[in-house]
Amino acid sequence: MEIECDNFTIRNWRVGDEMSLVHHANNRKIWRNVRDRFPHPYKPEDAVWWISYANSERPVVNFAIAVEGAAVGGIGLILRDDVYRLSAEIGYWLGEEYWGRGIVSQAVSALTEYAFANFGLCRLYAEVFEWNPASMRVLEKAGYQLEGRLRKSVIKEGQIIDACIYAIVR
């Protein structure tokens, strides 16, 4: 899979992305806004495992955001099952050096189109920690709507916080 965007590409993770992945992912400001299963510190062995895991999934649902060939972020889906099987959760992060250039807003729009076109879904959603207005803005720019506030649904770094749920439906 490869989606060409303005100044970046969404593509499969590749062996060879490890060093760049560690460089950009090993950042507390990123870890603070994602699930605890995202490692911190982010070590070379974490990158090796992730690239192998992402490419072993069928369908492949986790992709790199690449600028000038280098993997500087990640974007992916969690396909839900059972009665939620027409839904997927979208998640993403970007290396801090590239923040504020509109990259993730465009990436979310592009992966949303790809997901609706390829996986027979009727709903995509994201849960954003209450202290992350940049991610809320990303979702709004990509056409997602705020559906509600999941009060005290998250514990991150010992703090119990709300998450805001954003969704787009087709």
Work out whether 35 is an interface residue with ligand COA (CB under 6 A): no
Distance of closest approach, residue 20 Cβ to ligand COA, in angstroms:
15
Tokens representing residue 106 in the block: 């465009």
The set of residues, in sequence order, having a beta carbon less than 8 Å from that of 91 and lying 6+ positions away, is: 34, 35, 75, 76, 77, 78, 126
99 near ligand COA, judged by CB under 6 A: yes
- H or E, element range at 32: none
Contacting range for ligand COA; rule: CB under 6 A; set: 12-20, 87-95, 117-125, 151-159:
87-95
Footprint on residues 47-66 left by ligand COA (CB under 6 A): none
Orientation angle between helical segments 44-56 and 18-25, nearest 10 degrees: 110
Applying CB under 6 A, among 12, 55, 109, 132 the residue interacting with ligand COA is 132
CB of residue 135 to ligand COA, shortest distance in Å:
4
Residue 39 interacting with ligand COA (CB under 6 A): no
Q: In what order do the strands lie in the sheet with 2-4?
A: 2-4, 9-12, 62-67, 70-79, 87-94, 123-129, 159-169, 145-156
Residue from 61, 66, 67, 104 touching ligand COA (CB under 6 A): that is 104
Which one, of 56, 155, 75, lies nearest residue 115 by Cα?
Answer: 75
Q: Which residues pair with 154 in a beta bridge?
A: 161
What's the closest the beta carbon of residue 88 comes to ligand COA, in angstroms?
A: 14
51 or 144: whose CB is closer to ligand COA?
144
Positive or negative, the Cα torsion across 138, 141, 145, 148?
positive
- Which one among 47, 77, 88, 138 touches ligand COA, defined by CB under 6 A? 138
Give contact residues for ligand COA (rule: CB under 6 A): 30, 33-34, 92-94, 99-105, 126, 128, 132-135, 137-138
